[in-house]
Chain A
């Protein structure tokens, strides 16, 4: 009960508090002032409640399959460029070969020339590795909702994602490497559902494991396509990916290559 007269709390700070945009010190100072201002405190509380409600709005839309007409609209990107149109006129096979060449360049000597793995399988693996990178870049910076189901509900998480991917999944334990499971989410892939598991170490660095079926039997390639670890890196984010019994796995993160490889090996051993 200190009878000091402080200026009224400015509204922008109340928004910043409700949105979690204040530094810890600022937050504590403001909360202390709110203790003496029940009306402002009630406002912040109402806004936070609103925010929570909004965060839950139409979450199911994220899990719906992308409508074909929207996917088609997205795929039209790049077709405006004449050179791209020319490539695409050559048809799917040319595009696949192009992807394989691109992948080979990206891997920069990491291809071990696996006997028996076809160009198409490599192309699909490269695409899978790339999608894992995209998914990592999109979700790993999320502060509030990095995952759909948190690690606390691990049993539910595993059941749910196993069901959606049509195959029993196992969540690797990376505690020995200093990474704890944050949780997981379901993502759309070009050949069905994909799952992403997120891990975080004490420094807040995140790695994601991206998993999904690859239709390896398609287009006359061997059904049991398996590959060695492959490495790909784009804009500071790297991924080791591999295919095992028709299932693709990719571990992505902003880590030095040897560190990421160590983690990928730990994952591989447990799966």
Chain B
């Protein structure tokens, strides 16, 4: 196996986890990872050896993710409700319910906000790195982060009281 392939393969677990958090379902996530890896292979010569491979891959994944219309059409009809795959989802120390709640609330954030929040909090990237990955100024990153955190807080606190008012994002299109 080539050095490049080893380096790339070593990134797959991180990419899968991020994609799972971003899309909220296992199939869509691995689809996104697959597309990202294929694009990485196509454009490998554009990666500057020695620079952060993970950040470069996130940039590729970001570009694929925001190309959401095409993706949504392709996946129409095979989306899986998160409640149906509860057993397959993570069960860390916090308990399943909390994780499901978190993923459900995350899924209601606009994609661009969810992305920034996950890159900052889950992937522990700096605001400057996130700005480079998403191709936006740091100021935009900060305002998306702010909206994401405020909205997530409302959703998480609101979840404690009564059933969620579901507004499928797709319908907004």
Contacts and interface: CB of A to CB of B under 8 A. Distances in A.
B121 to A, nearest CB: 4
Contacts of A142: 124
B17 interface: yes
A51 B92 CA distance: 15
A218 interface: no
A61 B38 contact: no
B41 to A, nearest CB: 5
A135 B9 CA distance: 11
A237 to B, nearest CB: 11
A116 interface: no
B50 A84 contact: no
B111 to A, nearest CB: 16
Given A70-B33, A76-B41, A78-B4, A61 B142 contact: no
A75 B121 contact: no
B53 to A, nearest CB: 9
Contacts of B145: 15
Q: How large is the interface on A (under 10, 10 to 19, 20 to 34, 35 or more residues)?
A: 35 or more
A61 to B, nearest CB: 4
Contacts of B156: 50
B13 A64 contact: yes
Interface residues of B, number: 55
Contacts of A81: 45
A73 B6 contact: no
Given A57-B90, A61-B90, A70 B10 contact: no
B10 A62 contact: no
A12 B141 CA distance: 11
B5 A77 contact: yes
A187 B6 CA distance: 13
Interface string A134-148: 110010001111000
Interface in B31-83: 33-34, 37-38, 40-42, 44-45, 50, 54
A55 B30 CA distance: 20
Contacts of B102: 53-54, 57
Contacts of B11: 138
Given A53-B94, A59-B17, A11 B44 contact: no
Interface of A: 11-12, 15, 19, 21, 46-47, 50-51, 53-64, 66-67, 69-71, 73-81, 84, 95, 127, 130-131, 134-135, 138, 142-145, 187-188, 190, 235
Interface of B: 1-14, 16-17, 20-21, 30, 33-34, 37-38, 40-42, 44-45, 50, 54, 89-94, 98-99, 102-103, 117-118, 120-122, 124, 126-127, 142, 145-146, 149, 152-153, 156
Given A15-B127, A56-B93, A64-B13, 16 more contacts: A15-B120, A15-B142, A50-B152, A50-B156, A53-B94, A54-B117, A59-B92, A63-B13, A74-B5, A77-B2, A77-B8, A78-B2, A78-B44, A130-B6, A135-B10, A188-B9
